[in-house]
Amino acid sequence: MLVIDYEKLRQTIKLHNNLNFVSQTACDLARKLITEYGIANDDKLSEWLNEQKYKSHKALMVWVQQQLPLIDSDETDFERYRQLRRLFYANFSEFIEEVH
């Protein structure tokens, strides 16, 4: 007889879902980067971000979500975006130059 540990299964599913969670704030900030840098939704940026399971836009949203703890949440939206843009450029300036 097969015994299923439903609590363990629930925890595994919850952990998996949280790993890919992207907040609305992260989506909004990522969209601003996408617009500003004209990022196509292909595989190029996702390769730079080491998120090959996603296309570039989703990969960027995941990356932004991971960066949010590094950004001061007490700042204005404009300042938060400026900080994120600086992080993005510092980490991916070669990608940006390659695209433009």
Local confidence band at 13 (pLDDT 50, 70, 90 cut-offs): low
pLDDT in tens, 29-78: 999 999 999 999 997 888 888 888 899 999 999 999 999 998 888 889 89
Q: pTM of the entire structure?
A: 0.76
33 phi/psi in degrees, rounded to 5: -65, -45
pLDDT at position 89: 93
pLDDT in tens, 78-98: 999 999 999 999 999 888 888
Question: What are the C-alpha distances in Å from 61 to residues 25, 35, 51?
Answer: 10, 13, 11
Structure tokens at 40: 């196509």
